[in-house]
Amino acid sequence: MMREHWLAPEHLVYPMFVQAAGARQEIASMPGQYRWPVAELVEEARRLHERGLASLMLFGLPETKDDEGGGAWAENGVVQTATRALKRALPALQVITDVCLCEYTRHGHCGVLHATASGVEVLNDPTLELLARTAVSHARAGADMVAPSDMMDGRVGAIRRALDSAGFAQTPILAYAAKFATAFYGPFREAADSAPQQGDRSGYQMDMANGREALHEMQLDFEEGADMLMVKPALPCLDILAAARARFPVPLAAYQVSGEYAMIKAAARAGWLEEARVVRETLLAIRRAGADMILSYFTPDLLPNGR
Ligand code: PBG
C-alpha cells in the first residue's frame, strides 16, 4: 500500500539477439544471454511468454555484411524472418525491432560512411532513407513497434513519413532519443559484432557530460512524432530520466545496457554482490527516476516464475 513503485512484466522488454545461421551461442561477456537461431528464438520466446513476458526487442546478426548495410532492409533479412516467425507463433507477444545499420555494415557504423582526410565521417542525411526503408521492412514483417537506435538527426520524422505512406500509420516509434556514446555498450558490440572498425560513435551519440543537450535531443524526436522516448544507458542517466519525466507527456523507456548487465553478473559471479537484490534495486531506481518501461537482459529473472 505504501510502495510507490514496483516491477511487473508490462514494464519490461527483453532484448534478444537473433542470428541468420549457426547454432545457439552464449555471449562471453553477457553470461546467460545468447545469439539465437530463429527456430530456437521462437521456442525461448514461447517459454518466456508463457511465464508472462509481454514484449521483446530484436537485434539481428546477418549472415553477411556490406558497405551500405543492405541486410537491414532485406525482405528475408534475419530480423524480418524472425519477426514473421514470432508473430505467427505468438501473436500476443509484442515484437519491437531495433532499427540501425551497425550490425549490417562491414565498417560497423550506424550510417553511411564517408572517408575524409583525417579519418571517417558518417553522413547523416543519406542514412535517413536507409533507416526508413529498414523500418518499413520490419513493419511489413509484422513488427508491433520500431525502435531507431542510430541517433541520426531527423530519422524519427523520416521513418514516420515512410511508415505512413507504406500503410503503417498505426505502427508506433520508440526513439532511442537520448543515447549516450559510452563504453557501457562494449559487451553488446561483441554480441552483435557491431564495433566500429575505425573511429567511434561520438559524432552521432551524446556526450556523457551533457544533460541539457540530451533533453534537447529528446525534444526533437518528440516533435518529429516519436510515440515513446528512450534514455540509454539507464543507471548512469537517472537525472536525464527524471528531467524527461517532468517535461514529456509520452511514455519513457530506459535501456539497462549490456555493460550494466555485465557489471552485475561479474560481481555476482565473484561472490561480491547478491545478484537478485541488486537487479531489483537497479530496476526500481530506474522506475523511480521516471521510466515507464525498462529494456533489460535480466527480464527473464523478473517474470512471475523466475528462473
Ligand atoms: C545499435 C545499438 C547499440 C545498442 C543498442 N543498439 C550499440 C551501439 O550503439 O554501439 C547497445 C545496447 C547494449 O549495450 O545493451 N546502434
Handedness of CA 149, 56, 91, 249 (dihedral sign): negative
- Supply the angle between the helices 78-89 and 124-141 in degrees, to the nearest 10: 30
Q: Would 151 be classed as within a structural domain?
A: yes
Share of the chain above pLDDT 70, in %: 99
Give φ, ψ of 56 to 5 degrees: -135, 160
Share of the chain above pLDDT 90, in %: 89
Which residues in the chain land under pLDDT 50?
A: none
For the record, the C-alpha cell of 97 comes out as 525491432
Q: Would 94 be classed as within a structural domain?
A: yes
> pLDDT digits over 21-30, tens only?
899 999 999 9
Q: Which residues contact 91 (CB under 8 A, 6 or more apart)?
A: none
Task: Print the domain residue range for 21.
Answer: 9-302
- Ramachandran category for residue 199: left, alpha or beta (phi over 0 → left; psi -120 to 50 → alpha): left
Q: Would 179 be classed as within a structural domain?
A: yes
Q: How far is the CA of 4 from the centre of ligand 1 (A)?
A: 31
pLDDT for res 4: 96
- Look at the chain and report how many structural domains it folds into: 1
Q: Would 42 be classed as within a structural domain?
A: yes
- Here the CATH number for the domain that contains residue 141 is 3.20.20.70
Give φ, ψ of 50 to 5 degrees: -65, -30
pLDDT for res 193: 85
For the record, the C-alpha cell of 38 comes out as 530463429
pLDDT for res 190: 87
**Ligand 1 test: best mutation among 127, 185, 193, 263, most atoms within 8 Å of CB?**
185
Q: Would 4 be classed as within a structural domain?
A: no
Gap between the Cα atoms of 179 and 155, Å rounded? 14
Q: Would 1 be classed as within a structural domain?
A: no
Q: Would 150 be classed as within a structural domain?
A: yes
Which residues does ligand 1 sit against, CB inside 6 Å? 98, 100, 102, 110, 149-150, 185, 188-189, 201, 257-258
pLDDT for res 197: 87
Q: Which residues are catalytic?
A: 179, 232
Residue nearest atom 7 of ligand 1, based on CA coordinates: 185
pLDDT for res 243: 98
pLDDT for res 306: 65
**Nearest C-alpha neighbor of 247 from the set 217, 286, 276:** 217
In ligand 1, the atom with minimum distance to the C-alpha of 150 is 16
pLDDT for res 203: 86
Q: How far is the CA of 185 from the centre of ligand 1 (A)?
A: 6
pLDDT for res 119: 87
Residue nearest atom 14 of ligand 1, based on CA coordinates: 185
